[in-house]
Amino acid sequence: MPGFLLHVGATVTCAHAGQAQPTAPNPRVMVSGQPTVTLPSQYVVAGCTLPPPPAANGPCVTANYISAATRVISNGQPLLLFDSQATCIPTGTPLITAVTQTRVMGM
């Protein structure tokens, strides 16, 4: 499915409103003047509101994407898209992409 490429300035949150940022941006491909992000890049989550045990299994600390572009790669790795799926650790909830650039699409 085609979607816009994710970049470092994209607004990505966990399901509990924590802000997520990539740990390893890809400076080889730039969109809107900012580096894109590849599939192996882990995200760090800050400000997750899910309480720790025993009340819940939070907060979200990191996240890993499990899907990405199938036809657009950089440095041998697929680029992340607006609709790519991710799982937060340790909660297992998804990351939510709210805002990204809208000029470059991938598939």
CATH number at residue 75: 2.60.200
Q: Is the pLDDT of residue 29 over 80?
A: yes
Q: How many CA atoms lie within 13 A of 85 on its CB side?
A: 5
Is pTM, for the whole model, over 0.85?
yes
Q: Is the pLDDT of residue 6 over 90?
A: yes
The dihedral formed by the CA atoms of 39, 35, 13 and 104, expressed in degrees to the nearest 10: -80
How many domains does one find in the chain?
A: 1
Cα distance between residue 97 and residue 77, in whole Å:
20
Q: What is the span of the domain harbouring residue 28?
A: 3-106
Q: How many CA atoms lie within 13 A of 21 on its CB side?
A: 5
- Residue 34: the pLDDT is 97
DSSP 8-state assignment for residue 51: P
- Residue 23: the pLDDT is 98
pLDDT digit string (tens) for 46-100? 999 999 999 899 899 999 999 999 999 999 999 999 999 999 999 999 999 999 9
